[in-house]
């Protein structure tokens, strides 16, 4: 199979992959903390989950655990946009790249639900914009995670202005 993508398109594709990975890590940590203050338990509970499932579960837990605060109103639209952009990421990374008769670059992907093949015109600029927005969402959600940490019960005040993570309790010696 001939190489369809040129260096600048591969670079843009790499940026999409890197920023999507960052977003996935931020959502995973936020979800772990929304489940429990014990990081190890939270991460074990979500091990192997796909991004879509993590984002849906986080949205559900934010709605449940942060009800009555300003957090759900801010967080939920970001999670919905993240889900949409991760679908774009999947098309870019897992699709078949091709040129049409007019030499326009496109990515072809089979839609699982219908079995139909869909081709979408894509440029390096499109991928760069997607990568930039994925990075912005990761940064925003990371700040929102920190902002919700007290309300989620993962931080406690040690002294005025100093917050520490709640210590996990395990075993019979740590009740």
| DSSP bridge partners of 164 | 156
Structure tokens at 134: 């994925």
CA 70 to chain centre: 21
pLDDT tens sequence across 62-93: 999 999 999 999 999 999 999 999 999 998 88
The string over 146-158, giving b where at least 16 C-beta atoms fall within 10 Å of a residue's C-beta and e elsewhere, is eebbeebebbeee
The residue written with tokens 């940064």 in the block is 139
The reported pTM is 0.88
Over residues 115-139, the mean pLDDT reads 92
């Amino acid at each position: 199979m001939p190489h369809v993508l040129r260096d600048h398109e591969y670079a843009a594709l790499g940026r999409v992959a890197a920023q999507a990975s960052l977003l996935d890590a931020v959502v995973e940590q936020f979800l772990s903390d929304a489940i429990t203050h014990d990081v190890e338990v939270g991460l074990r509970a979500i091990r192997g989950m796909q991004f879509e499932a993590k984002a849906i579960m986080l949205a559900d837990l934010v709605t449940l655990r942060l009800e009555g605060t300003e957090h759900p109103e801010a967080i939920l639209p970001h999670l919905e946009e993240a889900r949409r952009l991760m679908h774009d990421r999947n098309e870019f990374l897992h699709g078949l790249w091709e040129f049409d008769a007019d030499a326009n670059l496109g990515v072809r992907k089979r839609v699982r639900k219908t079995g139909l093949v869909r081709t979408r015109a894509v440029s390096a600029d499109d991928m760069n914009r997607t990568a930039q927005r994925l990075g912005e969402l990761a940064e925003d959600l990371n700040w929102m995670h920190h902002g919700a940490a007290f309300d989620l019960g993962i931080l406690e005040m040690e002294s005025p202005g100093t917050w520490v993570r709640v210590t996990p309790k395990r075993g019979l010696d740590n009740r």
